[in-house]
Amino acid sequence: MGRCMDCLATEMNEIAFERHGLVQRLLKASVVNPLANYLPPALFRALLRFGKSELAASNWADPGGWRSMVISYDGKPRQIADKILVGAGTIPMALRNRRKLAAKTLAILIDESPSDPVHALCVGAGPGRIIMDAMLQAKREAYATLVDVNTDPFEHGRLQARQEGLDGKVRFIQCDVRDGVGAILDHQPDIVKMVGICEYLLDPEIVEIARAVAAVMPAAAPIVFNSLSDAHGTDRFFRRVFGLHMNHRTPAQLQELMQQAGFDNFDAHPEPLGVYHVIVGRRAAGPTPDPAKGNT
Instruction: Provide the binding-site residues for ligand SAM, judged by CB under 6 A.
Output: 64-66, 69, 124-126, 129-130, 147-150, 153, 176-178, 195-197, 209
Q: Which is nearer to ligand SAM, 28 or 124 (CB)?
A: 124
Q: Which is nearer to ligand SAM, 209 or 268 (CB)?
A: 209
Q: Which is nearer to ligand SAM, 130 or 161 (CB)?
A: 130
Per the CB < 8 A criterion, the answer to whether 213 and 177 are in contact is yes
Cβ 100 to ligand SAM, closest distance in Å? 12
Tell me how far, at minimum, the Cβ of 121 lies from ligand SAM, in Å.
Answer: 11
Residue placing its CB nearer to ligand SAM in the complex, 28 or 98: 98
Q: Which sign, positive or negative, has the C-alpha torsion 38, 41, 44, 48?
A: positive
CB-based contact 227:254 (threshold 8 Å): yes
Give the shortest CB-156-to-ligand SAM separation in angstroms. Answer: 11
Q: Which of 167, 177, 191 lies closest to 119 in space, CA to CA? A: 191
Q: Which residue is nearest to ligand SAM (CB)?
A: 196
Burial of residue 262, with CB atoms counted within 10 A of its CB: 0-12 exposed, 13-18 middle, 19 or more buried? buried
CB of 175 to ligand SAM, least distance (A): 6
Cα distance between residue 117 and residue 190, in whole Å: 9
Closer Cβ to ligand SAM, 81 or 144, answer by number: 144
Residue 113, CA distances (Å) to 44, 141, 190, 239 in order: 48, 10, 7, 40
CA 38 and chain centroid, separation: 28
Toward ligand SAM, which CB reaches closer, 51 or 235? 235
CB of 197 to ligand SAM, least distance (A): 5
Distances (CA, A) of 150 to 2, 16, 68, 277: 35, 32, 15, 26
CB of 266 to ligand SAM, least distance (A): 20
